[in-house]
Structure 1
Amino acid sequence: MRDDVTFGPETSAALRNFGEGRTPPPLVRALAEVKLACLRAVQETERRWSPEAFAALEAACGDVASGRRNGLFRLPLFQGGAGTSLNMNMNEVLASLACSFCAGQDLEMRFDPIEDINRHQSTNDVVPTAVTIALYRLLCLAENQVIALQEALVERERQFENLLMEGRTEMQSALPITLGQVFGAWAGAVERDRWRMNKLKERIRTVPLGGTAIGTCFAAPRPYIHAAERALRSVTQLPLCRSQNLPDETAHLDKWGELANGFSLCAINLFKMCGDFLLYTSSMSGEMEHPKVQAGSSIMAAKTNPVLLEHVRGLAVHIQGEAWKVGQYVALGTLQLNSYLPHLCASLLEAGNSLVRAISSFRLDFLGGLRVNATRIERNLAGSLAMMNALGPKLGYHCVKRLYENGEALPASLEELVVLAAEATGKAPEEIRELLSPGSLAGMNGGDA
């Protein structure tokens, strides 16, 4: 096999226009797979090439899809032309590579980037199809991370189901809650993210392959269109399907706005969770301890910074920014095409990869090393107004309010609170202790308390 495989004049022109960059490898792989599916469909319906020539074409597609030729794809996604430069880059590389494979077998074959590699295709159906493949796989990665995070939170929900702590609203003492319920609430938000991502897989799996330039299937024979759809599913092993409204699929990219919103909502939930943990791990609360993963200060030795939480929060903001950009790119479509698909793809790849990184860091690095300070949790609870509020139904709302407004000293321990409540109500201490149990205070007895 020769070593002079390269791209051609159209890619060179695009490099001059848009500068050097790096086409994301997942998109290179996906576009090579689309080309392979299209070439198989052409061969199935037309027998255009000899068996030897077609074997060289298949080998070229496989070689590119493997990642071994990524250095030949140096175009940035920030480009004009709706992805035509990406398509021509792939066409030229595959034609050159297939010729190289033939030469290595002493076969004299020439492949034309347009007449052969791009047969029955347009940039406007093959590039959006490749984008769908790359983003579907990324969505699956993100979904797996969300599932793992939900499971990790549920595990801690069970672990701490009987650890009573101070519940707070508006940064003030409210009512008792178990730490298990706190973790369960976080798990509930992540469960919705999991549900959304599962639904998004169904929403984004349609492709415009076979619609060619504007979704009218111009110059694409019907047998080829059906064969290409079948081949695409076989090559990618993904549940992709040709859109039933190809002009719509070509002109409108709102499904990518929906995916961006899914990524953004997940990031928002992460941001909120990290904010909660920042408070719980702060020296003001001390109810949890952030993992000591690196020095907290270059001058203060006895300090741990919440670097993992800050890292995840920063990524969450970044994800939301990229999602906002996707919405703007969706809106920039005009008439029968949205020419900003490469820009949109860049933002979604950035958002999705950042989300995967954020969840992984949060789950493995932060949650994996998080420590709960049960002693501090009990001390904070005993000395808070939360327990006093919890006894409102027994002491009476006005009694609790009077004690609070008169500046009565808060109990220093749960046992002191038992004594105070017993004196105020005339009930036996044992009965008060039962009222202060996790089952009663945190609503685990159906509210009968």
Structure 2
Amino acid sequence: MRVEKDFIGEVEIPDDVYYGIHTYRALNNFPNTGEKLNNSFIWAFFMIKKAAAILNFELGYLNENEKNAIVQACDEWESLKNHIVVDPLSGGAGTSINMNINEVIANRATEILGGKKSEYIIDPLDQVNMHQSTNDVFPTAGKVAIIKELRELVENVIKLQDSIQVKEKEYIKIRKIGRTQLMDAVPILLGQEFGAWADTLSRDRWRLYKVEERIRSVNIGGTAIGTGIAAPKEYILKIVNKVREITKIGIAKAENLIDATQNLDVFSEVSGLLKSLAVNLVKISNDIRVLGSNAVNEIKLPKIQAGSSIMPGKVNPVIPEYVIQLSTSVISFDNLITYASSMGNLELNHLTPMIIHYTLKSIDFLKKATYSLKNYIELIQPNEEKCHENLVKSFTLVTPLIEIFGYNEVSESLKENNFDIEKTVKDLSKKRNFDFKEIMNKINSNRSAGLGYRLK
């Protein structure tokens, strides 16, 4: 064990950990919830510390050995990330997480310079955290991480959309009955149903791609409340460029650093668009469950695992159900993020850790959902026989006849003939002296539906 002290007192810390006294106290104050910091967030935080060290060296505030040690420690973030142990939902607007990272970098940098943990040849506050505050580093790291994760999510959405469009083209000649309120409606093509899913995803893809522009604006350099206190002007002007150079993420300095520090509405905006994707994934997944159910059976669901511990041979739509669970979680997270974003007071939002954590968790859930759904949809096969059977049995095929006979007359004839299509058509033809075959041709010509439909 090694001993560290602060103004509160001394504590013993295990020799093998890289964190220090601030982290130790946080671990005692904030029992672990089981939540884990997002990897991209940890990476972004380390890269901001690296950028700050390089800029502080260039401005003459660190010597070369100090800078090199901090930079090397930051580049080792992946091997050090297991020492970032403070709970994501800790209090203090993220201060404990910032100090956890500062201490880990400082102790590793101290080792690089030949010292031992807790000797702090590199100080976690005076050097690693130089010209920074939790209040500008934390939200900036969050935005950098969200942009990185959003790009990966958009790629997943593109791949899912592409897979659905392949099915759309394959199934474009398969006629079936369309349904509204789960009841037979009018004819549609199976490919058209898949095409509608693809188009809704194309909107999500575009929205999420464009929202990156809204989250690029960061408050790094604003320090505690956006006024830049305790940081030199040169640092404030240059730190955004240095972070952009290190992370390769196209961030920009906020026009008003005070606004960007206290107002987190952009996270609510991003979360709202993530919710929109989640809503569409739930709809698509539920459609797949219905179309593949025993009652409808118009698509053949993949047999990827046994569906029951008691019923032999049963197969369930487990992937759509998995996607629904992840997506409805995201919908719930959006409510949490929206409420938390509104809860800032004066110059800071104390719930920043929760807002960023659940935004990143939403993205992660959606990445997993879109990946799984893509692989599942690729294995779906049509049940053409059942599509045809359900189509020809549906009395709603007479819908095109309302153009000739009117809604009320067709309805009455259906009722009189016990909803038998052929008898209804014969009855209407006889009453109006129309040719039976001509009327049937009109019905058949409408079975393909899709007027105005554009095959991609």
Normalised by the length of structure 2, the TM-score is 0.88
Alignment match, 1:390: 400
Instruction: Give the partner amino acid of 1:32.
Output: F
SS of the equivalent of 2:187 reads strand
Deviating beyond 6 angstroms after TM superposition, the runs of 4 or more aligned structure 1 residues are 416-425
Instruction: Give the partner amino acid of 1:402.
Output: E
1:68 paired to 2:79? yes
Alignment match, 1:381: 391
| Residues 400-415 of structure 1 mapped to structure 2, 5 A cutoff | 400-411=410-421
SS of the equivalent of 2:59 reads helix
Give the 3 Å change call, closer, same or farther, for CA 25–82 of structure 1 in structure 2: same
Following superposition, the deviation at residue 247 of structure 1 comes to 0.7
Alignment match, 1:264: 275
CA distance in 1, matches of 2:104, 2:120: 15
What are the Cα deviations for residues 193-237 of structure 1, in whole angstroms up to 9, with x where unaligned?
112101211111111100000001112222112321111111111
1:443 paired to 2:451? yes
Q: Do the aligned residues in 2 keep the contact of 1:143 with 1:194 (CA within 8 Å)?
A: yes
Q: What root-mean-square deviation, in Å, do the aligned CA atoms of Structure 1 and Structure 2 show?
A: 2.6
1:10 paired to 2:22? yes
CA distance in 2, matches of 1:180, 1:417: 30
SS of the equivalent of 2:378 reads helix
CA distance in 2, matches of 1:390, 1:434: 7
Q: Do the aligned residues in 2 keep the contact of 1:193 with 1:265 (CA within 8 Å)?
A: yes
1:41 paired to 2:41? no
What are the Cα deviations for residues 36-89 of structure 1, in whole angstroms up to 9, with x where unaligned?
11111111222x33333322221111112xx10112111111111111111111
Q: Do the aligned residues in 1 keep the contact of 2:413 with 2:428 (CA within 8 Å)?
A: no
Q: Do the aligned residues in 2 keep the contact of 1:5 with 1:97 (CA within 8 Å)?
A: no
Alignment match, 1:149: 160
1:19 aligned to which of 22, 31, 44? 31
> Can you give the 5+ residue segments of structure 2 that lack an aligned partner in the other structure?
1-14
Q: Do the aligned residues in 2 keep the contact of 1:8 with 1:92 (CA within 8 Å)?
A: yes
CA distance in 1, matches of 2:261, 2:339: 17
CA distance in 1, matches of 2:233, 2:107: 29
Give the 3 Å change call, closer, same or farther, for CA 445–328 of structure 1 in structure 2: closer
Q: Do the aligned residues in 2 keep the contact of 1:40 with 1:228 (CA within 8 Å)?
A: no
1:186 paired to 2:208? no
Following superposition, the deviation at residue 434 of structure 1 comes to 6.5
Following superposition, the deviation at residue 174 of structure 1 comes to 1.6
Instruction: Give the partner amino acid of 2:30.
Output: F
CA distance in 1, matches of 2:225, 2:315: 57
CA distance in 2, matches of 1:169, 1:178: 15
Following superposition, the deviation at residue 351 of structure 1 comes to 1.5
Alignment match, 2:318: 307
Following superposition, the deviation at residue 392 of structure 1 comes to 2.7
SS of the equivalent of 1:119 reads coil
Alignment match, 1:328: 339
CA distance in 2, matches of 1:92, 1:274: 46
SS of the equivalent of 1:69 reads helix
Give the 3 Å change call, closer, same or farther, for CA 300–421 of structure 1 in structure 2: farther
What are the Cα deviations for residues 289-332 of structure 1, in whole angstroms up to 9, with x where unaligned?
22111112223224222222211111121111111111121122
Instruction: Give the partner amino acid of 1:42.
Output: N
What are the Cα deviations for residues 115-147 of structure 1, in whole angstroms up to 9, with x where unaligned?
111111111001111111111112112211111
CA distance in 2, matches of 1:284, 1:420: 31
1:237 aligned to which of 243, 248, 258? 248
Alignment match, 1:368: 378
Give the 3 Å change call, closer, same or farther, for CA 102–433 of structure 1 in structure 2: same
Alignment match, 1:293: 304
Aligned length: 435
Give the 3 Å change call, closer, same or farther, for CA 202–420 of structure 1 in structure 2: farther
Alignment match, 2:259: 248
Q: Do the aligned residues in 1 keep the contact of 2:57 with 2:63 (CA within 8 Å)?
A: no
Alignment match, 1:114: 125
What are the Cα deviations for residues 385-444 of structure 1, in whole angstroms up to 9, with x where unaligned?
2311133324543442222111345358xxx99988877764474785476236863315
Q: Do the aligned residues in 2 keep the contact of 1:394 with 1:425 (CA within 8 Å)?
A: no
Instruction: Give the partner amino acid of 1:387.
Output: L
1:205 paired to 2:216? yes
| Residues 19-28 or 339-348, more deviating | 19-28
Alignment match, 1:136: 147
Instruction: Give the partner amino acid of 1:342.
Output: P
Q: Do the aligned residues in 1 keep the contact of 2:175 with 2:447 (CA within 8 Å)?
A: no
Q: Do the aligned residues in 2 keep the contact of 1:421 with 1:432 (CA within 8 Å)?
A: no
Alignment match, 1:56: 69
Alignment match, 1:29: 43
Q: Do the aligned residues in 2 keep the contact of 1:35 with 1:61 (CA within 8 Å)?
A: yes
CA distance in 2, matches of 1:374, 1:440: 14
1:100 aligned to which of 111, 115, 118? 111
Q: Do the aligned residues in 2 keep the contact of 1:290 with 1:306 (CA within 8 Å)?
A: yes
Give the 3 Å change call, closer, same or farther, for CA 181–421 of structure 1 in structure 2: farther
SS of the equivalent of 2:242 reads helix
